[in-house]
């Protein structure tokens, strides 16, 4: 039995993924960091919305609208971040194996723009509320 397992290990050739294992592990860590970022974005949206509607004494129609916009846009941005992270992760697997890897600039710029927009809405909300 032990001899059979040894033969299987010796006869199997390394996969393409195992050739670039460090790059694949770094890719996976980056993907998980994007997922954590998405969860944090969603969490901040829920937090702002819940805090706003918990403080019933300071409710105003414009404040209600901004709190809802912040909550909904944070959830949407979090979901988009997860989708983009997954797409980039899968693309990088192929690029690493084909040795054609290029750092993704568009996804970082797009996500940054959306976070700036939500941050501006936060500023308006805090100035009004």
Residue 43 and residue 77 in contact, taking contact as beta carbons nearer than 8 Å = no
Sorted by where each begins, the domain ranges of the chain are: 35-128
Q: What is the DSSP letter of 129?
A: -
The pLDDT tens digits of the residues spanning 74-94 come to: 999 999 999 999 999 999 999
pTM of the predicted protein model: 0.77
pLDDT tens digits, residue range 26-78? 999 999 999 999 999 999 999 988 888 888 656 788 888 888 999 999 999 99
* H, E, C per residue of 20-87: CHHHHHHHHHHHHHHHHHHHHHHHHHHHHHHHHHHCHHHCCHHHHHHHHHHHHHHHHHHHHHHHHHHH
CB 46 within 8 A of CB 71: yes
């Amino acid at each position: 039995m032990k001899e059979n397992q040894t033969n299987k290990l010796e006869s199997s050739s390394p996969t393409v993924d195992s050739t670039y294992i460090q790059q694949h592990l770094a890719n996976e860590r980056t993907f998980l960091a994007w997922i954590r970022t998405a969860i944090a974005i969603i969490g901040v949206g829920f937090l702002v919305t819940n805090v706003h509607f918990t403080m019933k004494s300071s409710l105003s129609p414009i404040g209600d609208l901004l709190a809802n916009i912040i909550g909904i846009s944070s959830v949407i941005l979090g979901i988009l971040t997860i989708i983009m992270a997954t797409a980039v992760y899968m693309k990088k697997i192929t690029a690493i194996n084909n040795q054609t890897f290029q750092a993704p600039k568009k996804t970082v710029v797009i996500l940054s723009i959306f976070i700036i927009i939500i941050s501006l809405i936060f500023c308006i909300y805090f100035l009004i509320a």
